Amino acid sequence: MASFRVHEDLEKENRGVGPMAGKKAGGTVFGAAGKNQLQPQRTMLNVLNTNIPHADKTIKDAKNLRATGGAALMPKVGKADENACIPRAGLPAKAVQKATSNVTEAFKGFQVYDESKENLAAAACLLPKEETLHEKREPLQEIKNVQLLETPMSVGDSYSPMSVDKSAMIVVDEGHIPKNDRERFYEVEEYQEDILLYLKEAERRNRPKPNYMMKQTDINHSMRTILVDWLVEVSEEYKLHGETLALAVSYIDRFLSFMSVVRAKLQLVGTAAMFIAAKYEEIFPPDVSEFVYITDDTYTKNQVLRMEQLILKVLSFDLTVPTSLVFTNLYCVMNDVPDKVKYLTMYLCELSMLEADPYLTYVPSKIAAGALALARRILDLPMWSKMLENNTGYKLPSLKDIVLDLNKTHTLAATMAQQAIQEKYKSIKFKDVASLPVTKLTEETFDSICETLTRAATSSSQQAQPQQLLTSTSDQENGRAQKSLLIA
């Protein structure tokens, strides 16, 4: 087993070497033979399974050099060469050369093979002498000034054979693009009918009582109208969604159907209902302190939170209720309704929230269908069609009452004391549908429209019947001809 010594600190070990050390030792240099010889402690490092040639001889030479007054030459790691050795002072030149050669031979087994020079030489040999067409470039960069061969995949005059000429692409108009996740969900045709059936079932399960105001002793319809108009201003102030407003009004009506409220607490009920609806519908709902602020500090934070708990307890936490706005979005997506018709329908539905007397008797799906029919009438479009009848589940004669009530509300909208909804829909965002002229609609006009639609439906069905008869007779004649051929 071969072994070699490693100096932990060469500077500490050979402190005695040099003229300054000689003076301190009484004129003798440490390392010479005599009593003042310094023998520093060294650590031993055993190397297992190594066959280093001349290792023992190298160690003996180092000991002899140390005895003659020189320091042992040990390997020191440097930047230029790992196996280089630095000679000490007072070492003979021949001994230095001999020790260096011996140590170099001893550490040949620890040399690291470097392939970089050999690879560079091989790459230089492989390079052709002639100039190539490709310029020298870094990886993943675009090839320039290269004459590419035409391939079946090449399109246009681009350099890459897999690139596509964008100037020849045709932009296809995809039509109506849904603006939110709910409308995108309604776009799935396989689920539209099931969604509509579920919403119609849910709207009947959680309905407010139509005549609940008769049991209220301290509030009336006008107070409720003022409250709803104030909630519209609150929703516009904090930029809340329309669905948040519709849910808040629904929670108020359902709560007042079971609880009697004094007029001093009616605004507190509306504030707490809007707070619940915002937390249900909005991504970033306003804080409760904001709702305390909008009441001009009429109520405290604890009062709003306690009213919130009371409303949730009375409603049994059934907060997922379909509103007229939900059905409006569904109808517009299913029937590909233009934006202006959709905004006018939303405007009519929000006007219906101001009055509880006639509109609480209708379900939200019927209110949305009547508002859509009236909006189409105002914009000089066919009031109803077979597709609308199939997708909404309502025939036009069944919408007579709701359409006439909405037309009356629309006519009186300009003269009402509450103008928050009108100002909201006069903005460019909703295409100024609140400024459209009112269309007068009477019962006789509505009945005549219904008769016209029924006549058109019957005439189309009569035209379809002869075609069905022709196809059936032709099929029978073809069958007889085939039988006669078989018999022959």
Burial code (b: 16+ CB inside 10 Å, e: under 16) for 9-35 equals: eeeebbebbeeebeeeeeebbbbbeee
Average pLDDT on 435-458 reads 89
Average pLDDT on 476-485 reads 54
Same domain, 380 and 407: yes
Domain termination site, one of 315, 343, 370: 315
Residue 291, pLDDT > 70, answer yes
Most confident of 110-114, 188-192, 466-470: 188-192
Map residue 311 onto helix, strand or coil. helix
* Distance in angstroms (rounded) separating the CA atoms of residues 486 and 481: 9
Note down the domain range covering 263. 209-315
Question: Looking at per-residue confidence, does 477 or 385 come out higher?
Answer: 385
Structure tokens at 363: 């379900």
pLDDT of 286: 94
Same domain, 308 and 337: no
Residue 427, pLDDT > 70, answer yes
Average pLDDT on 312-335 reads 93
Q: Is residue 135 part of a domain?
A: no
Q: Is residue 43 part of a domain?
A: no
**Backbone φ and ψ of 5, nearest 5°:** -100, 140
Same domain, 404 and 297: no
Same domain, 278 and 380: no
Q: Is residue 374 part of a domain?
A: yes
Q: What is the pLDDT of residues 384-408, one digit of tens each?
A: 999 999 999 999 999 999 999 999 9
Domain termination site, one of 277, 295, 315: 315
Structure tokens at 406: 């909405």
Structure tokens at 411: 């006519």
Least confident window among 154-168, 176-190, 298-312? 154-168
pLDDT of 40: 47
Same domain, 348 and 443: yes
Q: Is residue 156 part of a domain?
A: no
pTM greater than 0.85: no
Least confident window among 70-84, 316-330, 374-388, 425-439? 70-84
**Backbone φ and ψ of 56, nearest 5°:** -65, -40
Count of the separate structural domains present in the chain: 2
In DSSP terms, 6 is beta-bridged to 43
Same domain, 391 and 444: yes
Same domain, 305 and 360: no
pLDDT of 13: 46
Structure tokens at 310: 């009371």
* Distance in angstroms (rounded) separating the CA atoms of residues 360 and 366: 11
Same domain, 356 and 420: yes
The CATH number for 259's domain is 1.10.472.10
Same domain, 283 and 375: no
Q: What is the pLDDT of residues 217-235, one digit of tens each?
A: 999 999 999 999 999 999 9
Q: For residue 245, which of 404, 429, 425, 428 has the smallest C-alpha distance?
A: 425
Average pLDDT taken over every residue of the chain? 74
Residue 401 is which amino acid? D
Q: Is residue 150 part of a domain?
A: no
pLDDT of 154: 42
Range 209-214, long-range pairs (CB < 8 A, 24+ positions):
209/257, 209/360, 210/360, 210/361, 212/253, 212/256, 212/257, 213/256, 213/356, 213/357
Same domain, 334 and 374: yes
Q: Is residue 403 part of a domain?
A: yes
Same domain, 311 and 383: no
Query: How far does CA 273 lie from the centroid of its chain?
Result: 29
Q: What is the pLDDT of residues 239-283, one digit of tens each?
A: 999 999 999 999 999 999 999 999 999 999 999 999 999 999 999
Q: Is residue 40 part of a domain?
A: no
Q: Is residue 381 part of a domain?
A: yes
Domain termination site, one of 283, 315, 347: 315
Same domain, 300 and 342: no
In DSSP terms, 44 is beta-bridged to 5
Under the banding of pLDDT at 50, 70 and 90, the label for residue 96 is very low
pLDDT of 147: 47
